[in-house]
Amino acid sequence: MTILEGARQIRDRSISSIQLTENALSAISEQNPKINAFISVFADAARDRARQLDSELAQGRNRGFLHGIPVALKDLFHMKGVATTGGSKLFSGQIAGHDSAVTERLEAAGAIIIGKTNLHEMAYGVTSSNPHFGPVRNPHALDRIPGGSSGGSGAAIAAGIVPMAMGTDTGGSIRIPAAYCGTAGIKPTYGLVSRYGCLPLGLTLDHMGPLGRTVRDCAITLNVLAGYDPRDPHSDYRPAEDYFPEAKVDIRELRIGWPENYYFDSVEPEIRSSVEKARDAAAGLGARIVPVRVPDIKALNTVSRLILLAEASAVLEPYLHQRDQFGPDVMALLDQGRLLAATDYVNAQRLRGLYQQQFRDLFEHVDCLFTPTVPIGAPRIGQKTVVIDGVEEDTRLASTRFVRAINVLGLPAISIPCGRSSEGLPASLQIVGGPFAERMLLRAGAALEDEMGLIPIQPAK
C-alpha cells in the first residue's frame, strides 16, 4: 500500500491506523528474519500511537497524508529514548536525548515510526552487509545486496512492509538502495531538509531524504520535511513549496538533458535499454530530449571521494583507536582519510565551486539530466567486484560512479524504477535537477511512473 492509498482509506474509514500498524508489524515478524531490514522495532509504542491517532481522527483532527501511516527511520536519526546505533556497536548503548528534526517533523505530521532500519556500518558503504547487525538482503533476490547505505530502508519498502522509510545520502546512499530495490528515492538539494539530530558522516556532503513506494509518497514526505531549521547551520531559508505532483502531470515543456559522454560509457546493456525506454516514454509524453555533454564527472567523483574520506575520518576520529570495533571495509576508508593532507581537503573544496559553476551553465540549457542511477543490477552479497563490458570494477566504485558527484554539487536527484533485468532485478533512472528543482523532479518522476508503472512489491519468501 502507498501512503496515498493508506491516507485515502484512513480518511474514508475503510481502514484504521491500528490496522495498518498491525499489518506492518506482522509483515516485519514474517519477513525481517529473511531480509534483516530492521535493527529495532517499536511494536508497543507504535500500537499506542496508532490508537491515539485513530482517536484524533474520530474527533475530527486529520494531520494530513501521513496521519496514521507506519513508516521507518534509518538508524542514523535520533529518536528520543532509543539508541541510535548508526549500524555500529560503538553507539549501540547510546540512547538519544532528543529527536532529530526529521523525527520531529514526521511525528508532527502523524506518521508512526514503527522501527529503525539496518544500514551499512556508519552509513559508510553501499552493501549494507553490516558486520554487527548482519547483512540486509534484497527482497527481489535474497542472495543480493539491497544497496546502501540506506539498505534496510530500501528493503523494507520493496518487501511491502512500509510505504516510506527515511534515508541519508552522502555519496548515493538513498538513490543506490532505491535503484537496487526498485523503489523511488529522492536526495533533496543540500540545505532543504534539516540534518539536526542525524549522525554525521560527510560534514558537507550529507543529505536527508525519503525512499518511497512511489514518487508521490516521496513528495508527500518531502512536503513535511522541507524547511528552514536554525539548528542546522547548512539549512536554507527558502520558503517551502508544495512538491506534490498533480494527478495528470504535463511534461511537454520539460527539456531533458541526455548525456553524450560518461554516463553510458560502461553500463550493463539491460540497464541501458531500460533507461532509454524511460527517455522514450518522456519523449512520448512531449518532453524535449536535448543531447548534452556533461562536465568531468570522473574528476568530480575524485573531488567527492577526497572530501568524504577526510570528513568521515575527522568525524570518527575519537573512535579510531578502537580498530576492532569497525568492519574491515569501513576501517580501510577511515585509514585512507587520516592519511590525506589538509591542503588536499581545502583544494577539493575549492575545486567543488568550479564544477558547481559548470553545472549552473549546463542547467541554463536543460531542466534536468536523465542518467542511469547505477550501471548494474544488485550485486550478490559478498561480491567485491563486478564485470561490465569485460572490465572488472570494485563494487562500491561501480555503484557510486553515477550518483556520488551529485552530492558534491549539492543538487537534487531522484531515482525511479524503469524496468527489470532478465534476472528480475530492478533497473533505475536518475533524474538530476538544478538547485531546489525538487518540484520539477517529482513531477517528471510522477509522469514517468504513471506512464511506466511500478515494480511490484516483493515480499521475501
Partner 1 sequence: MATNWQDLAKARHMDIPKEQIEVLTPTLAALESAFRPLVGALPGETPSTIIFRAGDPRP
Active site residue 74: yes
Distance CA 300, CA 184 (A): 25
401 near partner 1, rule: CB under 8 A: no
Contacting residue, 83, 281, 289, 351, with partner 1 by CB under 8 A: 351
240 near partner 1, rule: CB under 8 A: no
User: Length of the chain in residues, anyone?
Assistant: 461
Contacting residue, 284, 353, 390, 453, with partner 1 by CB under 8 A: 353
Comparison of 283 and 397: residue with beta carbon closer to partner 1: 397
All three cell numbers of 100, joined, read 532529530
- Tell whether omega for the bond before 149 is within 30 degrees of 0, i.e. cis: yes
- Of the ranges 162-170, 278-286, 287-295, 300-308, which one interacts with partner 1 (CB under 8 A)? 300-308
Residue owning grid cell 548525456: 259
Min. distance of Cβ 136 from partner 1 in angstroms?
25
2 near partner 1, rule: CB under 8 A: no
Q: At what angle do helices 3-11 and 17-35 cross, to 10 degrees?
A: 150
356 near partner 1, rule: CB under 8 A: yes
325 near partner 1, rule: CB under 8 A: no
Residue owning grid cell 514474517: 30
Active site residue 248: no
Contacting residue, 108, 332, 387, 391, with partner 1 by CB under 8 A: 332
- Of the ranges 27-35, 171-179, 339-347, 416-424, which one interacts with partner 1 (CB under 8 A)? 339-347
Distance CA 421, CA 424 (A): 5
- The phi, psi pair for 224, rounded to 5°, reads -80, -35
Min. distance of Cβ 352 from partner 1 in angstroms?
5
Pairing mode, if any, of strands 112-117 and 70-74?
A: parallel
317 near partner 1, rule: CB under 8 A: no
58 near partner 1, rule: CB under 8 A: no
Helix (H, G, I), strand (E, B) or coil at 292: strand
Active site residue 26: no
Order of all β-strands in the sheet with 112-117: 38-41, 112-117, 70-74, 164-169, 207-212, 184-187, 413-420, 426-433, 368-372, 255-259, 288-292
Contacting residue, 299, 380, 387, 423, with partner 1 by CB under 8 A: 299
232 near partner 1, rule: CB under 8 A: no
| Catalytic option among 100, 128, 149, 415 | 149
Comparison of 66 and 90: residue with beta carbon closer to partner 1: 90
Q: How far is CA 94 from the centre of its chain?
A: 25
Site pattern 192..211 for partner 1 (x: CB under 8 A) = ------------x-------
Pairing mode, if any, of strands 184-187 and 426-433?
A: unpaired
**Which residue, 201, 24, 243, 182, is CA-closest to 117?**
24
Contacting residue, 175, 187, 352, 404, with partner 1 by CB under 8 A: 352
End-to-end CA distance of the chain: 19
Task: Return residues touching partner 1 (CB under 8 A).
Answer: 204, 237, 298-299, 302-303, 305-306, 309, 320-321, 323, 331-332, 335-336, 338-339, 344, 346-354, 356
Catalogue the active-site residues.
Answer: 74, 149, 173
